[in-house]
Amino acid sequence: MERKIRVVLAKPGLDGHDRGLKVVATAMRDAGFEVIYLGLRQTPAMIAEAAIQEDADAIGLSILSGAHMTLFPRTRQLLAEKGAEHILLFGGGIIPKEDMGDLAKAGVGRLFGPGTPTAEIIAYLKQAVPGRRKEAPVV
């Protein structure tokens, strides 16, 4: 049985609805990914914990609230603290160009603007996920 790409999807913060995120989730399922859906109002601690328990390959965060400069780095930091650097963190939302550079430096992956075709996100994950894991031998 081959390994599936497992992606945690969440929407941190207090804003809005998750229709857009559900569309992405469905597209990912249809692309053969296993999507662990957390939904709304997730804190970085909840997200990092879930990703580790789920042995996720990637975490996708949808952030429209403008809090991206705290939420992404905080999640990245929590993952590092728990020894889960291999988990790819990417996202979507309205993120100004100048912030994107800083986030990339902080170890955050691609950030997709609103309306990005889901195929683009899926292609990105298929290319970016393999090889990130440096797993210890079983025995």
Partner 1 sequence: MSLLEKFFAGDVQALSSLITEVESRSDGCQAIVAAIYPRTGRACKLGITGPPGAGKSSLVDRFAGELAAESRRVGIIAVDPTSPFSGGAFLGDRVRMRSLAGNENVYIRSMASRGAQGGLSVATFDACLVLDAFGKDWIIMETVGVGQIELDVAQHADTVVVALSPESGDSIQASKAGLMEIGDVFVVNKADREGATNLVTQLNMTLEVRRKNEPWSYPVLATVATTGQGVAELGQAVRRHREFLGRHDRLAVRRKTQLKSQLRKILEDRIRATVSRRFHSDPDWDKLADRVYLKQETPYGAADRILAAWRS
Residues in 108-137 at the binding interface with partner 1, rule: CB under 8 A: 135-137
Element (H, E) at 59: strand 58-63
In the chain, the amino acid numbered 125 is L
Q: Tell whether residue 55 is a contact of partner 1 (CB under 8 A).
A: yes
Q: Tell whether residue 89 is a contact of partner 1 (CB under 8 A).
A: no
Q: Is 57 a catalytic residue?
A: no
Binding span for partner 1 by CB under 8 A among 48-56, 67-75, 95-103, 107-115: 48-56
Q: Tell whether residue 35 is a contact of partner 1 (CB under 8 A).
A: yes
Element (H, E) at 38: strand 34-42
d(CA 136, CA 109): 24
Closest distance to partner 1 from the beta carbon of 139 (Å): 5
Instruction: Give whichever of 31 and 69 is closer to partner 1, judged by the CB atom.
Output: 31
List Cα–Cα distances, 18 to 35, 77, 97, in angstroms. Answer: 15, 25, 24
Dihedral angle over CA of 84, 95, 128, 133, nearest 10: 0
- Hey, which residues are catalytic here? 15, 17
Residues that bind partner 1 (CB under 8 A): 1-4, 25-26, 28-39, 42, 45-46, 49-50, 52-55, 82-84, 135-139
